[in-house]
Structure 1
């Protein structure tokens, strides 16, 4: 047995059959302004 995986299935894969999907950010990061506003006053 070789230590490389069998790529036969990957080479046969039909990429056009994949569905097109839109990626949506579920948990976007806060902007720098929002973070500054939420910081406690004594932390600066």
Structure 2
């Protein structure tokens, strides 16, 4: 049993990956949850705290 599990970890079975149907996936819009502040925002915050 140990021998067969070691052999499986050496080379993963890519058959499932190559047979995967991309057309079944839904298209989703990516939205930035935590966008980085602009230079203007950083400057305003620096002036507000100074």
Same fold at TM > 0.5: yes
* Structure 2 match to 1:23: 30
Aligned residues: 41
1:28 offset after TM fit, Å? 0.8
State the secondary structure of the residue aligned to 2:23.
helix
* Matching of residues 28-39 of structure 1 within 5 Å: 28-39=35-46
Q: Normalising by structure 1, report the TM-score.
A: 0.77
State the secondary structure of the residue aligned to 2:27.
coil
State the secondary structure of the residue aligned to 1:9.
helix
State the secondary structure of the residue aligned to 1:37.
helix
For structure 2, the residue ranges without an aligned partner over 5 or more in a row are: 1-6
